[in-house]
Every structure is written in structure tokens, then in C-alpha cells.
């Protein structure tokens, strides 16, 4: 009986992961991709995406849900990259330059975002989602008009032919994969971007360390119960804002790592789906709105991208059209988010029912015991 219960509970708690594993296992053979190819892709994509997904962790700890506002950080990183390309700063230096320029911007927009979310307690996710659209408008204004008109752009190669505004696609050749190739280790048939992985590993270490600091402890306390934390004297609003600032800065750095791997950048769209894919990944990895951990990040990146890699080919082989596979990517991404949110909500409801049964009972429970004297 209890064994049955735990199996059922395990299934319901890991429903998203299990669904993904099942779909993937079915789809892998039909994609006819070689194991070597898939593994190499996974290594590349882990390096490319993990940092961005890790940026989501802190706001979840602080009880602010999934920070869709991380695309603000991505925009800051892109501004940094545009300027690096503009001034022709190349290689690792170019990336560092973009990071150094992007970070202060990310801090500022992150603080604005955090302050706004503090006024929308309980509705952080949808607010941050909308906020990202709003800041996107400002970003577009800056990149499309201010750059070239107010901010002098030296490199005509990145300007639109009308003389101001940045082109649709920015060639990042000068910094392309300079982090990945700084030390590319070849293990058997696979090449591993060691430095990128070291950067990701140090972020993981930072997060583990951070959770052991006073601020990390406060953040968790705020995440569990704002009222109690406030009563204990923890500066709740400030703590929440800091978690968003850190997340935004990490998103800025993550976007730079992502784009250096891609080698080019869709100036006006690159950040659109940053938060979307990061959120999908962490949810697929088994995280929820309230709870997430480092393993969730990596499991999620692997599972989601595994499906991304094989779905176009599987679509090609199944339906004779790669487009269907492309369509599946979107479908799967949004589906994963929706599924996780729904499962979380129903789990929370079940939990409430269970608590009620334990606490008040249907004419039973603790109070009955207290009354039975």
C-alpha cells in the first residue's frame, strides 16, 4: 500500500521529467542521428545554455518564481556586445569588455525590475514577463535610434544603411567562440570547451556558497514566508530586489556566453526567447515555481535540448518535413512550461487538502484529540 503510494507520488512529482524522457526515447531512433553527434551537441549546448538557466535560481529561492525579467539582463549583455563589436574589441577581451559594460546596465535595470516586482507581490511572474516587453521597447529605441544618432557608432559595418540604428543581424566573428576555444579539450571524438565549463562550474560553486551566506539564508527565509521574515527584521523588499539584480546580471553574462557560441546575434530578437527557453529548461529539469536546484538546471538543459536536436530530424523522418519538428520545438517549450505550472498548482491544491485533513479532519484529527479529554 505504502509502496504503491510512493511510486504514485514519485510519478506525480517527476511527471515533467518522465514525460520528456519518454518522448525523447521514442524520438531518438527515428531521428537516425548518431550517438556521437548527439553527445557532441549536448556538450556544446550545455556550455551555451547552462549559465542562462542558472540565472533563474536565485529569484526562485527568494520566492519570486521564474524570473521572466531575465531578458532584461540579456539585453544589457547585447548592448555590451554591440559596443564591443563597434569598437572592434575582439577575442576574450571583447567578451570581457561586453561583460564589464553590460553588468552596470544589468544592475540598474535589475534594480528597477526588482523594485517594480516588490509592488506586485504574488504576481511576480506575469509582471516580470510584461516588464520584459516594456524594457524591450526601450532597448529597441536605444539600438534602433540612439545608436548612431546619439551614441557614435564607428563601425559602418554594423549600422543600417540609413546611417543610424544597428543592423538586424550582428556578426560576432571577432568574438566568436573565443571563450569556448580558449582551451578546447579533445576527448575521443568530442571537443569540450573547458573554459566555458569552468565558468559554469564556478557559478555553481558561487551559488552553493551563496546559499550559506547570511544573504542567502535571508533570501530563502523570504522565499518561504515574507511576513515571518519581515517580523524577524529581515529587509524583505531589499532582499527580493537583490535576488533580481543578481539574476539580471547573471543573465547578462549568460547571454554573452550564449551569443559568443552562436557567433551572430539577431539584434532585435535574440533576447526574446532567452527567458522562455531558460524557463522551459529549468522546468523540464524538474524544478517548480517554488523549488529548484542545480541538478534541475543541468538535467533540464540536456533533456530540452536533446529534444530540440532530434525533433527536426525526427519530424523529417516521420512526417517528411523538418518544419514539423521546428514547430514541435515551440510546442514542446510552451507545453513544458504550461504542464509544469499546472502540475504545480494541482500539487499545491492537493497539499492544502492533505494539510486540512491532518489539521482539522472531517470530524477528526488533532483538535478531536484535544477535545476528547
Closest CB to other proteins among residues 60, 303: 60
Closest CB to other proteins among residues 121, 220: 220
What is d(CA 98, CA 104) in angstroms, rounded to the nearest whole number?
11
Assigned C-alpha cell, 234: 529581515
Q: Kindly indicate which of the ranges 9-17, 140-148, 232-240, 332-340 contains the residues binding other proteins, using the contact rule CB under 8 A.
A: 232-240
Residue 205 makes contact with other proteins by CB under 8 A: no
Selected binder of other proteins within 91, 121, 129, 262 (CB under 8 A): 91
Selected binder of other proteins within 9, 88, 350, 354 (CB under 8 A): 88
Instruction: Using the Cα atoms of residue 329, residue 331, residue 335 and residue 337 in order, give the sign of their dihedral.
Output: positive
Closest CA to 251 of 331, 132, 85, 134: 132
Closest CB to other proteins among residues 15, 215: 215
What is d(CA 307, CA 287) in angstroms, rounded to the nearest whole number?
18
Residue 151 makes contact with other proteins by CB under 8 A: no
Assigned C-alpha cell, 95: 567578451
**Using an 8 Å Cβ cutoff, are 284 and 298 in contact?**
no
Residue 167 makes contact with other proteins by CB under 8 A: yes
Selected binder of other proteins within 12, 36, 155, 269 (CB under 8 A): 155
Residue 188 makes contact with other proteins by CB under 8 A: no
Closest CA to 307 of 335, 287, 288, 342: 335
Residue 212 makes contact with other proteins by CB under 8 A: yes
Closest CA to 53 of 335, 241, 298: 298
Torsions phi, psi for 127 (to 5 deg): -65, -45
Q: Kindly indicate which of the ranges 20-28, 46-54, 120-128, 206-214 contains the residues binding other proteins, using the contact rule CB under 8 A.
A: 206-214
Closest CB to other proteins among residues 23, 221: 221
Residue 346 makes contact with other proteins by CB under 8 A: no
E strands of 222-371, at which residues?
264-266
Selected binder of other proteins within 26, 157, 323, 348 (CB under 8 A): 157
Burial code of 223-243, b = ≥16 C-beta within 10 A, e = fewer? beebeebeeeebebbebbbbb
Q: Kindly indicate which of the ranges 68-76, 216-224, 262-270, 328-336 contains the residues binding other proteins, using the contact rule CB under 8 A.
A: 216-224
Assigned C-alpha cell, 24: 525523447
Q: Kindly indicate which of the ranges 2-10, 12-20, 81-89, 185-193 contains the residues binding other proteins, using the contact rule CB under 8 A.
A: 81-89
Q: Kindly indicate which of the ranges 126-134, 226-234, 270-278, 303-311 contains the residues binding other proteins, using the contact rule CB under 8 A.
A: 226-234
Selected binder of other proteins within 11, 93, 189, 269 (CB under 8 A): 93
Residue 243: helix, strand or coil by DSSP? helix
Selected binder of other proteins within 43, 76, 81, 89 (CB under 8 A): 89
Number of residues that bind other proteins (CB under 8 A): 54
Selected binder of other proteins within 6, 137, 150, 373 (CB under 8 A): 373
Torsions phi, psi for 198 (to 5 deg): -65, -40
Residue 214 makes contact with other proteins by CB under 8 A: yes
Selected binder of other proteins within 123, 350, 354, 356 (CB under 8 A): 356
Residue 367 makes contact with other proteins by CB under 8 A: yes
Selected binder of other proteins within 2, 6, 161, 186 (CB under 8 A): 161
Closest CA to 241 of 365, 94, 120: 120
Report angle CA 133, 329, 317 to the nearest 5 degrees: 160
Selected binder of other proteins within 7, 123, 133, 156 (CB under 8 A): 156
Residue 100 makes contact with other proteins by CB under 8 A: yes
HSE toward the beta carbon, residue 270, CA cutoff 13 A: 32
Cα 50 to Cα 70, 277, 301, 337, 368: the distances in Å are: 14, 11, 7, 18, 51
What is d(CA 23, CA 317) in angstroms, rounded to the nearest whole number?
15
Q: Where do contacts with other proteins occur on this chain (CB under 8 A)?
A: 84, 87-94, 96-97, 100-101, 154-157, 160-161, 167, 174, 209, 212-215, 217-218, 220-221, 223-225, 227-229, 231-234, 356, 359-363, 365-371, 373
Amino acid at each position: 500500500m505504502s509502496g504503491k503510494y510512493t511510486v504514485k507520488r514519485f510519478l506525480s512529482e517527476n511527471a515533467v521529467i518522465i514525460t520528456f524522457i519518454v518522448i525523447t526515447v521514442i524520438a531518438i531512433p527515428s531521428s537516425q542521428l548518431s550517438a556521437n553527434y548527439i553527445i557532441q551537441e549536448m556538450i556544446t549546448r550545455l556550455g551555451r545554455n547552462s549559465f542562462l538557466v542558472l540565472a533563474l535560481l536565485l529569484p526562485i529561492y527568494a520566492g519570486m518564481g521564474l524570473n521572466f525579467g531575465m531578458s532584461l539582463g540579456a539585453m544589457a549583455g547585447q548592448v555590451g556586445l554591440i559596443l564591443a563589436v563597434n569598437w572592434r574589441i575582439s577575442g576574450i577581451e571583447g567578451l570581457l569588455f561586453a561583460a564589464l559594460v553590460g553588468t552596470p546596465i544589468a544592475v540598474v535595470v535589475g534594480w528597477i525590475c526588482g523594485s517594480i516586482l516588490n509592488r506586485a507581490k504574488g504576481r511576480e511572474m506575469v509582471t516580470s514577463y510584461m516588464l520584459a516587453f516594456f524594457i524591450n521597447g526601450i532597448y529597441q529605441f536605444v539600438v534602433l535610434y540612439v545608436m548612431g544618432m546619439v551614441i557614435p557608432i564607428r563601425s559602418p559595418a554594423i549600422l543600417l544603411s540609413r546611417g543610424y540604428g544597428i543592423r538586424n543581424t550582428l556578426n560576432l566573428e571577432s568574438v566568436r567562440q573565443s571563450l569556448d576555444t580558449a582551451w578546447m579539450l579533445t576527448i575521443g571524438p568530442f571537443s569540450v570547451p573547458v573554459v566555458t565549463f569552468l565558468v559554469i562550474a564556478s557559478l555553481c560553486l558561487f551559488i552553493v556558497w551563496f546559499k550559506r551566506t547570511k544573504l542567502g539564508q535571508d533570501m530563502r527565509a523570504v522565499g518561504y514566508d515574507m511576513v515571518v521574515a519581515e517580523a524577524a527584521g529581515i529587509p524583505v523588499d531589499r532582499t527580493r530586489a537583490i535576488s533580481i539584480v543578481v539574476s539580471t546580471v547573471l543573465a547578462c553574462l549568460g547571454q554573452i556566453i550564449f551569443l559568443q557560441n552562436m557567433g551572430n546575434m539577431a539584434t532585435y530578437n535574440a533576447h526574446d526567447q532567452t527567458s522562455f527557453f531558460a524557463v522551459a529548461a529549468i522546468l523540464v529539469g524538474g524544478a517548480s515555481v517554488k523549488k529548484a536546484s542545480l541538478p534541475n538546471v543541468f538535467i533540464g538543459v540536456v533533456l530540452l535540448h536533446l529534444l530540440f536536436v532530434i525533433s527536426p530530424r525526427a519530424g523529417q523522418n516521420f512526417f517528411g518535413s523538418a518544419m514539423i519538428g521546428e514547430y514541435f520545438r515551440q510546442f514542446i517549450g510552451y507545453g513544458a512550461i504550461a504542464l509544469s505550472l499546472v502540475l504545480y498548482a494541482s500539487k499545491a491544491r492537493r497539499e492544502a487538502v492533505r494539510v486540512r485533513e491532518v489539521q482539522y479532519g472531517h470530524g477528526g484529527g488533532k483538535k478531536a484529540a484535544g477535545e476528547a479529554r
